[in-house]
Amino acid sequence: MQIDSRIVKRLGLAMGAACVVVAGTLVVRAAPAPAPVYSVAGDAVVGAGALRAAIDPLFEDEAMGETRALLVMRDGQVIAERYAPGFGPDTKLLSWSIAKSVTAVLVGLMVSDGRLALDSPVPVAAWSQPGDPRGKITLRQLLQMRSGLDHVEDGEPITSGDTVRMLFTDGARDMRAYAESKPLAHAPGAVFSYSTGSSVILSDLMTRMLTSSADPAVRRQAMATFIDGRLKAPGKLPSLTPEYDAAGTMIGGSILHMTARDYGRFGELLRNNGRSPNGHQILPEKWVDFMRMPSPRNPAYGAHLWLNRESGESALMPGRAPDSLFGCVGHNGQYILISPSQRLTVVRIGMSPEKEQRAAVRGALARLMGLFPG
C-alpha cells in the first residue's frame, strides 16, 4: 500500500511540533554529531605537522576512495589516529582478508601445541580415498597458497568466482564442504594461487582438533574458547570478533572484525615476534619467522602474510618502503603494515574498490611511513 506524500509531510510536521514543550521555552533538538577523532602526538619522532600532511590525503583525496580509519603506532604507542565521520576508536571494522593472517596465527598456536604438523598431509575426509591426489596436500602448502586446488578467487563476472560463491551463495551454508570439494588444478606445491578456500579448510581443521562434534553450536563454541584464551585475551584484542557459517566453521579467510587499535595491536604482536603488549611470548618466535618466509612460488607472500618483495603478484609497495616490511592485506584496501626496522605499525581500513584507488592508497602509506627513520 502506498502512502500519500502529503500524509508523510503532515506526519513530519506533527513530529516536529511535538518536540516543542508548550509549557515553557525549551525546544528539544537532536544532539550534534560528535566531531571525528583526529589526534597526533606532539612528541613523536616525526613532527605533528608532517604527520598530518601525510595523513590528510588518505581521507581527503577522492582518488584513494574512502578511508574510515588510520592508525600509526611506534614502539607500541599510538602516535597518530584519524577516523572518518561515523567511525571512531570503538568501531569494529570489517577486515576481509586480514582474517587470513589471524587464522595463520591460530594455526601456529596449534602447531606449537603439537596438534598439527606443517609437513604432514592434511586430514580431510573428502580427500582420503585411495589414489586421491589431494590427500598429499600439506598444512605448509595451504598456508603458502600452493595447495593446487582449483579455486578461482576473483571470477568474471564476480559472482562466478569461488570466493563469492563460497561466502555468499551456493557454498555459504557449509563453506568447508565447498572448499574441500574442489579438484586439483595443479600438483600440490607446484603453483601459487591465492585462495580464501584454503583458509576456510584451515579453520575447519583447527575446529576438528578441538571437538569431534558436528553440532554447529559446539563447533563455534570450541573455536571461540580457543581464540579467547590463546589470542584474544593474552594479545589484548578485546574487540576481535570472527564470523562463522551455518555449519559452525569460522570464516578464516574473511569477514573478521576489530577496532583499528586492535588491528594495530595484532600487527604489534607480529612485529614483536609473537610477544604480547606485556612481553609474554604467546606465539612462538619461530612461527612468526615462518609466516615471514617467502613462499617457494611467490617471493611476495609468506604464510598467510604479504611481504614487501618484487613479484608479479605483490600487494605491498616494494622499492618504496623497507624490504623488511610485511603486512596483512584485505579486499578493497584494508592494510596492517608492519615495519620492524622502523619500529612501526600502520593500519588503514577503508573502501577502495578500484585498482587505481588502492595503488594511490599504497603510495600515500609509503610516503607516510617514509617520514620515519630506520
Q: What is the pLDDT of residues 14-69, one digit of tens each?
A: 333 333 333 333 334 455 566 789 999 988 899 999 999 999 999 999 999 999 99
With 0-12 / 13-18 / 19 or more C-beta atoms within 10 angstroms meaning exposed / middle / buried, residue 141 is buried
Instruction: Quote the distance between the C-alpha of residue 40 and its chain's center.
Output: 25
Among 328, 337, 297, which residue's Cα sits nearest to residue 144?
A: 297
Q: Which three cell numbers stand for residue 317?
A: 609497495
287 touches 108 (CB < 8 A) = yes
8 A C-beta contact, residue 308 and residue 324:
yes
- Pairing relation of β-strands 306-307 and 38-40? unpaired
Q: What share of the chain is helix, strand, coil (3-state, %, to 5)?
A: 40, 15, 45
Q: Which residues pair with residue 258 across a beta bridge?
A: 93
The answer to whether the pTM exceeds 0.85 is: yes
Q: Please, how many CA atoms are within 13 Å of residue 335, restricted to the half-sphere of its CB?
A: 31
Instruction: Cis check for the bond before 121: say yes or no (omega within 30 of 0).
Output: no
What phi, psi does 350 have (nearest 5°)? -170, -155
Q: How far is CA 33 from CA 36, 67, 87, 89, in A?
A: 9, 19, 11, 15
Q: How many CB atoms lie within 10 A of CB 195?
A: 26
**Distance between CA 160 and CA 178 in Å, rounded?**
14
Burial status of residue 209 (CB atoms within 10 A of its CB: 0-12, 13-18, 19 or more): middle
Angle at 310 between CA 106 and CA 335, to 5 degrees: 45
255: phi > 0 → left, psi -120 to 50 → alpha, else beta; which?
Answer: left
State how far the Cα of 135 lies from the Cα of 132, in Å rounded to an integer: 6
Measured CA to CA in angstroms, residue 230 lies from 102, 109, 266, 328, 369 at distances of 12, 8, 13, 20, 31
Q: pLDDT per position in the chain (374 positions), as tens? A: 332 333 233 323 333 333 333 333 333 445 556 678 999 998 889 999 999 999 999 999 999 999 999 999 999 999 999 999 999 999 999 999 999 999 999 999 999 999 999 999 999 999 999 999 999 999 999 999 999 999 999 888 888 899 999 999 999 999 999 999 999 999 999 999 999 999 999 999 999 999 999 999 999 999 999 999 999 999 999 999 999 999 999 999 999 999 999 999 999 999 999 999 999 999 999 999 999 999 999 999 999 999 999 998 889 999 999 999 999 999 999 999 999 999 999 999 999 999 999 999 999 999 999 999 98
DSSP SS3 for 191: coil
Collapsing DSSP states into helix, strand and coil, what is residue 70?
strand
DSSP state of 324: T
Bridge partners of residue 121, in order along the sequence: 138
Number of H helices, E strands in the chain: 11, 9
DSSP 34: P
Query: How far is CA 129 from each of CA 142, 212, 297, rounded to the nearest angstrom?
Result: 20, 20, 28
Residue 184 near residue 133, CB atoms below 8 Å: yes
Number of other residues whose CB lies within 10 A of the CB of residue 148: 22
Q: Encode pLDDT of 260-277 as tens digits.
A: 999 999 999 999 999 999
334-339: strand order across its sheet = 38-40, 77-83, 66-74, 344-351, 334-339, 326-330, 306-307
Q: Are 284 and 277 in contact (CB under 8 A)?
A: no
